[in-house]
């Protein structure tokens, strides 16, 4: 069984998507008949060739970080290479993994709906979308969830809904947490990581610059 995993992060192997793919692949690899191929979508010149390989695969997963509420521009450029295959991918099971910096599921609901529609346009079978909110990074919990998603992908050729529900359980920030964040927002506490990075780059004094007015 041919399985294509596409890394849709503009940062390629340097980004966190690669770590997500690694954990997912570990789970998928527990199935002996699965032949996994991994591709980087930041190699834009290869999009047409990769789209053809995806069309010939049995299963494919596209992994990407949420950029301005949807897929990164170069991932959309890859999707556009599917135009010759519209309505013809009946043998393909297509799924997605979305990494979101903010913790709420609602931040990714719109793109999730679009990804299901994209799959429908292609005539493929929708394998589901795993949304990981609360930071782009990787941790032990996510590693285990991705491993489980990979392991449970077969025989149905789709993500297990029970595991999907655990990837980002919080739809919206609860009232109590919002109040707390609002109070903490009066202090530098919620911004500490950004402040640290700005200071490390000698850019803290310019943090509020407005260069375009």
Partner 1 sequence: MRTITILNGIADDSYTEFEAALEQASKVENPDRRLNVIRLRDLDIRYCTGCWDCWVKTPGVCAHHDDMPTILKEVIQSDLMVFLSPVSLGFVTALTKKACDRLIPLVHPYVEIHKKELHHKNRYKKYPKMGLILIDPEKSLVDFENTRQIFYRLSINLKTDFTLSLHLNGSEKEAHDAFSNL
CB of 138 to partner 1, least distance (A): 15
Angle between helices 73-80 and 47-56 (to 10 degrees): 60
User: Residues binding partner 1: what is the number (CB under 8 A)?
Assistant: 57
Q: How far is CA 132 from the centre of its chain?
A: 7
Describe the chain by its helix, strand, coil percentages, rounded to 5.
Answer: 45, 15, 35
Residue closer to partner 1, measured from CB, 57 or 115: 115
| Least separation in angstroms between CB 28 and partner 1 | 26
Cα–Cα distance for residue pair 95/111, rounded to 1 Å? 13
- When asked if residue 79 is in the footprint of partner 1 (CB under 8 A), the reply is yes
Say whether residue 52 binds partner 1 (CB under 8 A).
no
CA distance 16 to 125: 27
Angle at 164 between CA 158 and CA 169, to 5 degrees: 170
Q: Cβ 52 to partner 1, closest distance in Å? A: 16
Dist. CA 85–CA 200, nearest whole Å: 48
Stretch that binds partner 1, among 26-34, 48-56, 145-153, 205-213 (CB under 8 A): 205-213
Q: Site residues (CB under 8 A) for partner 1?
A: 9-11, 15, 42, 44, 65, 67-74, 76-77, 79-80, 82-83, 86, 102-104, 106-107, 109-111, 113-114, 117-118, 121, 172-173, 178, 181-182, 185, 190-191, 194, 197-198, 200-201, 203, 206-213
């Amino acid at each position: 069984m041919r399985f294509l995993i596409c890394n849709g992060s503009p940062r390629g192997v340097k980004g966190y998507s690669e770590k997500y793919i690694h954990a997912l692949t570990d789970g998928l690899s527990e199935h002996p008949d699965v032949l996994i191929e991994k591709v980087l979508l930041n190699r834009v010149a290869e999009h047409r060739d990769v789209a053809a390989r995806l069309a010939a695969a049995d299963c494919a997963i596209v992994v990407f970080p949420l950029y301005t509420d949807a897929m990164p521009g170069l991932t959309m450029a890859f999707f556009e290479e599917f135009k010759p295959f519209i309505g013809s991918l009946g043998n393909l099971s297509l799924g997605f993994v979305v990494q979101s910096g903010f913790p709420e599921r609602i931040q990714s609901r719109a793109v999730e709906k679009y990804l299901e529609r994209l799959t429908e346009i292609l005539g493929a079978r929708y394998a589901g979308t795993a949304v990981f909110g609360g930071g782009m990074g990787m941790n032990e919990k996510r590693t285990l969830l991705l491993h489980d998603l990979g392991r449970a992908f077969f025989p149905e050729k789709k993500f297990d809904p029970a595991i999907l529900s655990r990837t980002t359980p919080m739809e919206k920030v609860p009232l109590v947490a919002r109040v707390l964040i609002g109070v903490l927002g009066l202090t530098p506490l919620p911004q500490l990581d950004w402040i640290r990075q700005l200071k490390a780059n000698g850019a803290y004094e310019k943090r509020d610059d407005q260069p375009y007015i």
